[in-house]
Structure 1
Amino acid sequence: MYNSIMVLVFLLPLVAMLNLVSNQTHFLMTLLSLEGVTLSLVLFVPLTLSVTNAPNTGISVMLLTFGACEASIGLSLMVLMSRSFGTDMLNSLTMNKC
């Protein structure tokens, strides 16, 4: 049972990064994929450090703090983008306006 949980936690960052690469149509989906990467790293790093018997006291809190900062900056950028362009589609950012 413990080995299957370890394998799942080791695969979560890879699956989240694959989701980030494949879902790039809407800005909200990209932000959710980034949150998935952050949350999977919150699980992955302390578990990896506990296997190697390294001290892991503040790393999880630091990762959660960076994840909260990333989420707030991403949401503010999405609000700014939806007010400016009227949509959260990422391909609207690359349109040439002559």
Structure 2
Amino acid sequence: MSFFPAVGVGVIGVLIGGVCLMSQRKSLFGALLSMEVFTLSVYIMIFSVVWFSGSLTSACLLFLSFGVCEAALGLSVLVSLVRSTGSDYVGSLVSGHF
């Protein structure tokens, strides 16, 4: 197994996640899902670089724990938005009511 296909999968995932994140203008849930794709793709790239360099450090675990914290915060914001407005559409927000 070579180094470049694993990094290539990560780069393609980052590009897809970035395009999906830029195209999500209405739904917060879609934006959170695209950010998770972006985070997992960056994790794949970091893991492949660390794996093929021969030294497994705790950098992968640290990055993965930050990704989980980001997902938990995003989910809490989504639940708060749905409870206060009734939907996850960002356009239904009125400034001051959130």
What is the TM-score normalised by the length of structure 1?
Answer: 0.80
In structure 1, distance between residues paired with 2:58 and 2:34: 24
In structure 2, distance between residues paired with 1:36 and 1:90: 20
The Cα offsets for residues 13-52 of structure 1, whole Å up to 9 and x where unpaired, read as: 121111111122111111111111111111011223445x
In structure 2, distance between residues paired with 1:4 and 1:55: 19
Aligned length: 95
Give, as a single letter, the amino acid of the residue that structure 2 aligns with 1:46: F
Partner of 1:64, secondary structure, is: helix
Match of 1:68 in 2: 68
Match of 1:85 in 2: 85
In structure 2, distance between residues paired with 1:44 and 1:5: 7
Preserved CA contact (<8 Å) 2:27 2:90: yes
Alpha-carbon shift at residue 68 of structure 1 (Å): 0.8
Give, as a single letter, the amino acid of the residue that structure 1 aligns with 2:33: L
Match of 1:46 in 2: 47
In structure 1, distance between residues paired with 2:69 and 2:95: 31
In structure 2, distance between residues paired with 1:96 and 1:38: 29
Match of 1:35 in 2: 36
Alpha-carbon shift at residue 96 of structure 1 (Å): 6.0
Alpha-carbon shift at residue 12 of structure 1 (Å): 1.3
- Uncovered stretches (5+) of structure 2, i.e. residues with no partner: none
Preserved CA contact (<8 Å) 2:50 2:56: yes
The Cα offsets for residues 56-98 of structure 1, whole Å up to 9 and x where unpaired, read as: 51111111101110111111111111111111001112x468x
In structure 2, distance between residues paired with 1:91 and 1:82: 13
